[in-house]
Structure 1
Amino acid sequence: MYVAVKGGEKAIANAHALLAKAGRGDERQPRIEHAQVAGQLAVLVARVMNEGSLYDPELAARAILQAQGDALEAITLVRSYRTTLPRFGYTEPVDTAALPPQRRVSATFKDIPGGQQLGATFDYTHRLFSDPAEATTGFADNESATAHEDEMPRVADLLGVEALMEPERPADFDDPEPADLTREPTVFPMSRAERLQALARGDEGFLLSLGYSTQRGFGRTHPFAGEIRVGEVEVEFDAPELGFAVPLGRIEVTECQMINQFTGNADTPAQFTRGYGLVFGRAERKAMSMSLVDRTLRADEFGERRVAPAQDEEFVIMHADNVEATGFVEHLKLPHYVDFQAELGLVRRLNKERMAKADAAAGTSSEEVEALA
C-alpha cells in the first residue's frame, strides 16, 4: 500500500509539471500577464467574478491564467480563495437608479427619456474575423453619454406612473435582512432576495438554457427587455464606529429589468410584472438570463401553475452552482475500483443465473418453462 501511495504521489507531481509546461506554451512567445487579461478579456473576467462571488478583476485575471482559460476552474479558484477572506460586514445596497450608464438600451420604447445609448456591444457587429492589426482610432460622440442622471428614469418607473407595472416593493414589504447563502445552509422555500443571490453566482450557460426554455413555452413568460444598463456604481460601507456610510470605491455592473405580461386575477388587475438581474462587470447575457429565470420562479406570487423545470425553485437553485456541479461530475474521474468490482460481480452473477434458467428450460415441458418464467 505504501508503494502504491508513493508511486501515486510521484505521478501526481509529474502531472503538475506537465500541466505547467502545457500552460506555458511556446516559450519563444512572451508570457501573458494578468493585466492584459483584465484589460482585454473583460467579459470573461466578469463571468469569473460573478460565479466566483468576488469582485476583483485582477484576481479573476490571475485565476484565468492559472486555469489556462478554463472558466470553471478559474471560478473554483476564486471561490476557494474567497472562503479565506475575513468578513467585516455588509455594504449598503447600491443605488442603480443613479447609475451613469456607459450603455443603456430598451426594447420597449423607441424614444425614452435620456435616449438609447449603444455603448460597447457585440450586438451590431458582423460575425466575421477582424484584422488584429487594425486598431480603433476614433470615438463617436454620443449625446446621451453626457445626460444628467435625472434625465434617465427607469423604463419600469414610467409604466408605474400609469399603474401598468407591479410596484417595485409591495405595500406590506418590510425588507427583512436576507440570508447569506455563502454562510448559511440553503433552505426551501427561499425568499426572492436569496434566490437572486443564488442566480447571480449561478452558471451562465445553465441560466441561459433555462431562460431560453421559458420563452419556448416552459415557463409562461412573454418577456420584453425593459431596460439594460451597464455602468459603474458606488459601493458604501456603513461603519458602526463612525455612524455613517463610507464610500469604498466604484464597481462596474450590468442591470436588466425584464418586463412580462400578467393578465391579472381576482385580487390583482392586469399589469406588467418584473424579472430582475444584477451582475458584476459587462455581462448582459447573464443579467438577461437571470431576469428571465427570476420572473419564472415568481410563479407562486401570481398564482401561476408550476409546470416547467425553470419554475421549480429547488431544481433551479440546486443545479445552478457550477462549482458544485463540476465537482460532482469530475469526481467520476477518481478511483471507483471497489464500487465497480461490486457491480461487475453483480452483473456476472445475474447473467450466470439467467443462463442457468435458460439451460434448465431447454430440457423441460412448456408448462415447466412457464413455471420457471
Structure 2
Amino acid sequence: MAYVAVKGGQEAIKEAEKLLHYYRIKGGSLPLEIQQIKDQFRLAVDKVMGEGSLYDPDLAALALKQAEGDSIEASFMMRAFRSTLPRNHHSILVDTENMQVIRRISATFKNIPGGQFLGPTTDYSKRMLQFDLTEESEADIQAFLTECLPDADLVNQTEIPTFPRVIEMLRSQGLVENRKINNAHTIQKEDITRRSIQLPETRPVRLQSMARGETGTMMALAYSTARGYGSVHPTLGELRVGYVPVYIRHPIFDQEKIYIGKVMLTEIEVIAKLRAGRKETEKKEEAKYTIGYGLCFGQNELKAMSMATLDRAMEVDEPSAPAEDEEFVLYHIDGIEASGFVSHWKLPHYVTFQAGLSRLRSIQERRADDDE
C-alpha cells in the first residue's frame, strides 16, 4: 500500500486531542474515580485486562476512563503499555484445582461434589432496567450492605471454598479424553508475544491467542458452530470463577517458590461429541467424549465458553467451516489487531485512490472512443 504523509497538520492534531478531552468532561459531572470504575464496572475492567493481556485492575480502569468506555481502545492502550514492561520472571504453572471459587456450576450433572455454587451472575435474572439506580445514593448502598452482610468481620474471616473438578470424575472412569498440558517449559517456549504465528499451530499457542482474543468475535464464531457452520454443540462440563495463587521461582534457590499474589480467572471445560470419524489411526481407540478448554482473566464467562468451544472446533481433521479453520480463527479474533487494521482505513490514501481514479477515467475514455 502507498500512503501520503500529512504535512502541516500537527497543530490540527493537537487541537483534535484537546477537543476529545473536552467532550469527555464538558457535561460538568464529577470526574470518575479509578476506584469507582474498578468497583462498579468490574466486568468491563475484567474484559479489558483479558483482551489487553495484562492483569492490572487499576490500569484497566484508567484505560476505560481515558477511552470513554470504549473497551477496544482501552485494551489497545493496555496492550501498548504491556509491551514496554520488562519480563523479569515466568510464573509457575497455575494450579486451578485449588481455585478459591466464588461461582461454580455444571450443566452435565445436577448433583456434583460440593454442589452447584451460583455466585454473582445475571443468568437467572430478568433483563429489565432498574430505574431506582438513577437515584442511588451512598445511604442506599450502605443500607444494602448492612442487610446483605450484617457481620462483615465474619465474612472477611471466612475461607473461600475449593471444589474437585467435575471433568475429573469422568476422566477417572475413562469417559473423556485427556488433553492436559502439564509442561510449563513447553508453554513458555510457545510464547505468542515473542514470536509470530506459524501455521499449523500447537494447542498452547491457540489457547494463548484465544485467551486474549476479542470477546464479541469469539462469541460469534462459537455461535456459528452451533448454527450449522461447524459440528460442535458443547455441553458445559464445569464453569469456575475464582481466585488462584500465583508463584514464581526463587531467583537463587530454584526449588523454592515465592507467592506474588492472586488473580481472578474464569475457567470452563465443555464436553463435545464422541470421538468418531477422526484420523484413521484413532478409529480403533476406545470411544470417549472430547473436551474443550477455556480460561481468561476476571469474570468473562461468554469469552471462556466461546474459547472452549473453539478449542474443540479447531481439532477437526478437515475444516469445513470458519470456526474450524485455525488460520481463520487465530487471525481474526485479536481485537487489537483487527481494530488497528480497520482504523487505518481512516488514514490518507490519496495516492492509491488517485491512481485508481485515473485508471477508471482512462477506461471510460477508451470505451467512449470505442463507442464512437
Name the TM-score, length of structure 1 as normaliser: 0.88
Taking the aligned partners of 1:174 and 1:70, their CA distance within structure 2 comes to 35
Distance 2:122 2:244 in 1: 23
Is 1:201 matched up with 2:212? yes
Question: 1: distance between equivalents of 2:249 and 2:184?
Answer: 20
> Does the Cα contact within 8 Å between 2:107 and 2:238 map onto a contact in 1?
yes
Match of 2:251, as an amino acid?
P
1:174/1:35 Cα in 2 relative to 1: closer, same or farther (>3 Å)? closer
Match of 2:59 in 1: 59
- 1:114 touches 1:147 (CA, 8 Å); kept in 2? no
What's the secondary structure of 1:307's corresponding residue? Answer: coil
Paired residue secondary structure (1:176)? helix
From 210, 221, 224, the equivalent of 2:232 is 221
State the Cα distance separating 1:93 from its structure 2 match.
1.2
Partner of 1:358: 371
Structure 2 equivalent of residue 362 of structure 1: none
Structure-2 change in CA distance of 1:146 and 1:249 (3 Å):
closer
Q: 1:311 to 1:235 in 2, by over 3 A?
A: same
Tell me, in whole angstroms, the C-alpha distance in 2 between the residues paired with 1:34 and 1:174.
35
Q: Which residue does the alignment assign to 2:301?
A: 284
Residue of structure 2 in register with 1:363 after alignment = none
Q: Where in structure 2 are the equivalents of 1:41-52 lying within 5 Å? A: 41-52=41-52
Deviations 1:234-253 (A, max 9, x none): 00011331221111001111
Q: What do residues 14-41 of structure 1 show as CA deviations (whole Å, max 9, x unaligned)?
A: 10110000011312x2110111101110
Shift of 1:59: 0.2
Could you say which residue in structure 2 is the equivalent of 1:365? none
How far apart, CA to CA, are the structure 1 residues paired with 2:59 and 2:184?
37
Q: Which amino acid aligns with 1:299?
A: V
Residue 180 of structure 1 is matched in structure 2 by 191
Closer, same or farther: CA 175–266 of 1 in aligned 2, 3 Å: farther
Partner of residue 266, structure 1: 283
How many equivalent residue pairs?
Answer: 344
Give the aligned partner of residue 318 of structure 1.
331
**TM-score relative to the length of structure 2:** 0.88
Give the letter for the 2:186 counterpart.
P
Compared CA separation, residues 334 and 170, structure 1 to 2 (3 A): closer
What CA distance in whole angstroms lies between the structure 1 residues aligned with 2:67 and 2:352? 31
Residues 78-134 of structure 1: CA deviation (Å, up to 9, x unaligned): 000001101112101111111121000100111111000110001011111112126
Give the whole-Å Cα distance in 1 for the aligned partners of 2:160 and 2:89: 35
1:275 to 2:292 alignment: yes
Corresponding letter in the other structure for 1:273: T
Q: Which of 335, 344, 347 is equivalent to 2:360?
A: 347
Provide the identity percentage. Answer: 41
- 1-side partners of 2:240 and 2:87: how far apart? 29
Identify the residue that residue 71 of structure 1 maps to in structure 2: 71
Contact conserved, 2:102 with 2:160, CA < 8 A, in 1?
no
Partner of 1:240: 251
Task: State the alpha-carbon separation in 1 of the partners of residues 340 and 173 from structure 2.
Answer: 49
Corresponding residue for residue 279 of structure 2 = none
* Contact 2:235–2:272, Cα closer than 8 Å, also in 1: yes
Map 1:11-160; keep pairs closer than 5 Å: 11-27=12-28, 29-130=29-130, 131-132=132-133, 133=136, 135=141, 136-137=144-145, 138-139=147-148, 149=162, 152-160=163-171
Query: What's the CA shift for 1:263?
Result: 4.1
* 8 A contact 2:92–2:184 mirrored in 1: no
CA contact (8 A) 1:260 1:273 kept: yes
Quickly say closer, same or farther: Cα 1:12–1:174, change in 2 above 3 A. closer
Q: What's the offset of the Cα at 1:196? A: 0.4
For the pair 1:257 / 2:274, whether they are aligned, the reply is no
**One-letter code of the match for 2:271?**
I
Greater mean alpha carbon deviation, residues 239-248 or residues 274-283: 239-248
Question: Does the CA-based 8 Å contact 1:104-1:227 persist in structure 2?
Answer: yes
SS at match of 2:296: strand
Contact residue 297 and residue 311 of structure 1 kept, 8 A: yes
Q: CA deviation at 1:67?
A: 0.6
Give the CA RMSD over aligned residues.
Answer: 2.1
- Unaligned runs of 5+ residues in structure 2 are 1-5, 151-157, 277-281
Could you give the per-residue CA deviations for residues 266-299 of structure 1, whole angstroms, max 9, x where no partner exists?
2322211111111101111110011111111112
Shift of 1:220: 1.0
Alpha-carbon deviations, 1:120-168, whole Å to 9, x = none? 0010111111121265444499xxx97853xx22111111122111124
CA–CA distance in structure 1, aligned partners of residues 176 and 270 of structure 2 = 11
Distance 2:35 2:224 in 1: 38
- Deviation string 1:280-338 (CA, Å, 9 cap, x unpaired) is 011111100111111111123xxxx3111111111111111111111111111111111
Which structure is richer in relative contact order (CA contacts within 8 A, separation 6 or more)?
2
Counterpart in the other structure of 2:7: 5
